[in-house]
Amino acid sequence: MNELLFENNNEIRKSENGVSLESASTRSIHAELRTQSDTKLGSFNASVDYVDDSNPFGSSTAERVRKIMEDSRKKTIVVFLEMLSEISWKDFEVFLSETEKLSVPHVKNMMKYAMRWGCGEMYCSDEIVNYPKSRKKQSVMNCISKLCQYFDYTYSTEFQAEWIKFLHQKRQTWAVASVNVTPKTKFNIYKNWSKKQFLDNCSKLGQTKKSNLKFSTWVKFVYTTGLRPDEAMRAFNEHDEICDGKVMELFWHRRNKHAHAVYCHPELHKVLKKHKFHISQNSGSHYKIVNSRTVGCEVRFLRKVNFTKNCDLSVELANFMQGTASSLRERVYFLGDMHKLYEKWVALDWL
């Protein structure tokens, strides 16, 4: 007698000799599934279209994807250039100064690159890739980035995301330092730096012209305070309002840049009280007069020298004056100890 078995809702009959037989309904279902599977596999192979056996992903598929990406980027570039041709430079300048809160010299520099040199036309182009690494290339890339941010902010576009993606694909970095500049070479620069030579250069600068006396005083001011050039310019101009004769309380914040409080050297304090110097930030004349040729080093390098000298007195004091304090005590409560350490700070032989 044949024995009937039901397994997974499929009817299977076993004959007397032990050979299993599928029912007609089961055979039709299996045939239909095989047909559907062959159809899906055929459509998949047709979509992939393997032409080159050495390329496991299929050369045709890679070419289609690359063409789609290139067409999309070309459309983005066309739209960007059209919007750039109709941009309002006045609104762009307001965006840089008020929304981005850039300093006046930085805004002036970005406007010069955007308007005079037309850096926006290099957006996602091979021209920026082939441009030699330099400080100018960094300014060009920064200018393009600011233009993208302006369009994204004003018109809700995505130019900045496409720009960053393009830079990553082309392996373009923002660093402009030479390959030979390493932490060791930076330390050698400080080791070879001469305070005597620096002060002699400042004295010569003040003797060349009567108007240059304020610039030589400003360089010494940057050296003794350790402030960034923009912050030192503001503190230099507002000295009489913020200085009590020993300490200048600033507590300025610009994004992630902080300036808490710094000492005022007694010799510089007397000079500033007497002459009432003021340097315009808009003209940028201080960068033309004060540079590595006239004082022997870059102005921003003096901040590193100041930090190293202050560490001889107190590391906490150095971090606080540099605006890099991390703990709550260093940011708030260390100000009261600055008056107690003033005499020791002057004894470090600054000038």
Token pair listed for 223: 């050296």
Residue 261, strand partner residues: 249
Task: Name the residue among 291, 290, 105 with its Cα closest to residue 214.
Answer: 290
Return the domain boundaries, the chain. Answer: 3-48, 69-169, 184-346
Q: Which residue has the tokens 């330390």?
A: 187
The alpha carbon of 95 is separated from its chain's Cα centroid by a whole number of angstroms, namely 18
3-state secondary structure of 23: coil
DSSP-assigned letter for residue 14? E
- Residue 14 φ then ψ, to 5°: -110, 130
Q: Could you tell me if 248 and 242 are in contact, meaning their C-beta atoms sit under 8 angstroms apart?
A: yes
Q: Can you give the pLDDT at residue 47?
A: 45
Over residues 237-259, mean pLDDT: 88
Q: Please tell me which residue, 338 or 19, carries the higher pLDDT value.
A: 338
How high is the mean pLDDT of the chain?
Answer: 78
Q: How confident is the model at residue 96 (pLDDT cuts 50, 70, 90)?
A: very high
Express each pLDDT in 296-326 by its tens digit. 888 888 888 888 888 888 888 888 888 887 6
Measured between alpha carbons, how far apart are the two ends of the chain, in Å? 116
Token pair listed for 118: 């037309």
Express each pLDDT in 159-190 by its tens digit. 999 999 999 988 888 765 544 455 555 566 66
Rounded CA-CA distance 37/32 in Å is 9
Express each pLDDT in 31-68 by its tens digit. 665 565 555 445 544 444 444 444 444 456 777 777 77
Task: Name the residue among 294, 290, 238 with its Cα closest to residue 264.
Answer: 238
For the ranges 110-119, 134-143, 282-291, 305-314, which has the lowest average pLDDT? 282-291
Strands of 24-134 (E only): list them: none
Please state, as a whole number, how many other Cβ atoms lie within 10 Å of the Cβ of residue 221.
25
Q: Is 184-346 CATH 1.10.10.60?
A: no
Q: Can you give the pLDDT at residue 138?
A: 87
Please state, as a whole number, how many other Cβ atoms lie within 10 Å of the Cβ of residue 128.
20
Please state, as a whole number, how many other Cβ atoms lie within 10 Å of the Cβ of residue 51.
11
pTM listed for this prediction: 0.60
Rounded CA-CA distance 155/18 in Å is 77
